[in-house]
Amino acid sequence: MPEFTSAEYTAILLSLKVSIVATLLSLPFGFSAAYVMTYRKFRGKFVLDLIVNLPLTLPPVVIGYILLVVLGQNGVIGKQILQPLGIKLIFTWKAAVIATAVVGFPLLVRSIRIGMETIDQGLVQASRTLGAGWFDTVMTVILPLSLRGVIAGSALMFARGLGEFGATIIVAGNIPGVTQTIPLAIYEYASSPDGDRMALALCVVSVVISVVVLLFHEYLSRRMIRVD
Amino acid sequence: MELRVAATKKFCSFDLNVDFTVSQDRIGIFGPSGSGKSTLVNLIAGLQQPDDGIIRLNNETLFDRNIDTPPDRRRIGIIFQHPHLFPHLNVKNNLLFGFKRCTPENRRIDFDSLVEVLQIAPLLERGVNNLSGGEKQRVAIGRAVLSNPRLLLMDEPLSALDDTLRFQIIHHLKTVCATFSIPYLFISHSMLEMRLMADEVLAMADGRVVDQTTPENLARSRMGVSPVGYINLLRLANPRRSDGLYAYRWGTGELLISAGNDQPETLFELSSKDIILFKQHPEAISARNLFRCTVAGTFASANRVGIELACGKDRLVAEVVKQAADELGIVAGSELYAAIKASAFRRIG
């Protein structure tokens, strides 16, 4: 096993940081989207479904490029909102968070939705007739009963975030110590003549992190099966 | 309690169009599957919106063209066919779910009293997944009652239970509602349950209310079309054993029943089809119960004639086809002999 330098440690920590922040930021939005798509009837539901799931089928590079166009200095959001506020996103770790969030969002929403769809509608109706308003019902019935879906979706999104490459490299670049995550570092080592060992070592790190995430997910899921 | 409902609701293959007012506290809604009973429950509870109409409870409008009170503000509890207990909460927290959301001024039902009436104290700390069917339904009743509803809707709460549990739960429902003075709408397709639970019945068919009457009148009018005829309910007490049978005081003599037990009081059902009538005393008969009675009245139902038999202070309804009634010359005041097999009585509670 080769010795990691501070650049590799930074890449590992940055990968973890980007994935964690992207997952945590996406959770309230993902839960809300899943709730709306599961429980609400409205016109244009199909369009929302399409938009939410689009990143799943679009090439990540395309997503990265769209983000670059929208958030860049001449983009709609970049020019109208971010620049006046003095916020610079492109080629920072925050851009990597946004790219990771967009790419992983459909996985999060799908898992939560599956969790919500398994909830007996009678429980929701019972809650309403027992005096709980819709938000109360969401927080005290739907959220606890879809928690497995939330955890599964978060784990999936986190793992997907660790592997995010295409969108990140376009929107955040590949700047060692600043925006270089594990996949970007592996790409760089794999492209250089003497980088094989380091690329492999980072692959091993990726596998270890993924296994830990899956075990943690399994542990939480088992704990949630209530034993009387 | 006064409930006024005049509402329409269209579905792809079914229309609900109801218009009724009820003012008693024990109302039954009777009808076959698909007659719109559960839709009506959902409209009253606010779980579905009518296309048009009004719903008013105790002079408060819950729904009209401008008002649609959400279900959580209607204070109308539901006991569903399935208990729908929250699986992530234990029994105690299930019971308290509605209670905690009830404003203090509306909390008139005491938690401990209810637990005592429903006999669920040993279950309080248990998870709901390990309760029996009857225990779950008792907890569901308690949960709905503790939300201190102005009106309780019971949407076929007994249909998922076997007979033994069914009559236990009927006992609990009646006791709880009487103890805490809760008006209710009891929905069922069982005539027997209607007669045990309701003072007034709305009969529904094809999304319409087709009759508003007493359970007794409804049972009599349906005698001729019901496969079980008219069900006589007999609450008999203080049995004594007699050659492997149980003898209960009834009418001017005793009834011999094979399904009796040693309980001080038992409820039996007896179908009007299981009573055979004789104009004169038969010479010999295998049925263990033969008694002389007077015809108190008759009524027609489809091609049958219902005959109300008076024996002392007690009454039974028997049924015969019209030709038999004519042949025997049955009119009010006639004297008849009625024979009933000891095995014709079914114990129900």
In a domain, A1, yes or no: no
**Over residues B265-292, mean pLDDT:** 94
> Is there a contact between B87 and A125 if contact means CB atoms under 8 Å apart?
no
Q: Give the pair of three-digit tokens for residue B89.
A: 């909460």
| Contact between residue B302 and residue B325 where contact means Cβ atoms under 8 Å apart | no
| Contact between residue A203 and residue A12 where contact means Cβ atoms under 8 Å apart | no
Is residue A227 over pLDDT 90? no
| Contact between residue A70 and residue A77 where contact means Cβ atoms under 8 Å apart | yes
CA distance B349 to B192: 12
In this prediction, residue B162 has a pLDDT band, given cuts at 50, 70 and 90, of: confident
In a domain, A86, yes or no: yes
Query: What pLDDT sits at residue B348?
Result: 87
Query: What pLDDT sits at residue A225?
Result: 58
* A126, A133, A136 ranked by CB distance to B80: nearest: A126
| Contact between residue B330 and residue B298 where contact means Cβ atoms under 8 Å apart | yes
The amino acid present at B69, given as its one-letter code, is T
| Contact between residue A109 and residue A56 where contact means Cβ atoms under 8 Å apart | no
Query: What pLDDT sits at residue B103?
Result: 93
Report the number of distinct structural domains present in chain A: 1
**Over residues B148-177, mean pLDDT:** 89
In a domain, A77, yes or no: yes
The set of residues, in sequence order, having a beta carbon less than 8 Å from that of B274 and lying 6+ positions away, is B340, B341, B344
Which residues between 169 and 208 in chain B have a beta carbon less than 8 angstroms from any beta carbon of chain A? none
Q: Give the pair of three-digit tokens for residue B133.
A: 């069917």
**Over residues B311-334, mean pLDDT:** 94
In this prediction, residue A137 has a pLDDT band, given cuts at 50, 70 and 90, of: very high
Chain A hits for B144, CB-CB cut-off 8 Å, are 129-130
**Over residues A202-220, mean pLDDT:** 90
Domain range enclosing A138: 6-224
Count of positions (residues) in chain A: 228
Q: Please give the ipTM for the structure prediction.
A: 0.88
Mutate which of A130, A134, A148, A226 to disrupt the B interface (most B C-beta within 10 Å)?
A: A130
Residue given tokens 């008694």 in the structure block? B291
Count of positions (residues) in chain B: 349
Question: What are phi and psi for residue B317, nearest 5 degrees?
Answer: -110, 125
Nearest to B140 by CA among B183, B150, A93, B161: B161
> Is there a contact between A131 and B126 if contact means CB atoms under 8 Å apart?
no
Mutate which of B76, B101, B126 to disrupt the A interface (most A C-beta within 10 Å)?
A: B101
Query: At A137, which CATH number?
Result: 1.10.3720.10
**Taking all residues of chain B, what is their mean pLDDT, rounded to a whole number?**
94
Is residue A194 over pLDDT 50? yes
CA distance A18 to A101: 9
| DSSP string across B287-300 | -SEEEEEEEEEEEE
Residue given tokens 């009837």 in the structure block? A41
Which residues between 44 and 63 in chain B have a beta carbon less than 8 angstroms from any beta carbon of chain A? 45-47
**Over residues B106-116, mean pLDDT:** 91
Q: Which domains does chain B have, with CATH numbers?
A: 3-218 (3.40.50.300), 231-347 (2.40.50.100)
The amino acid present at A175, given as its one-letter code, is I
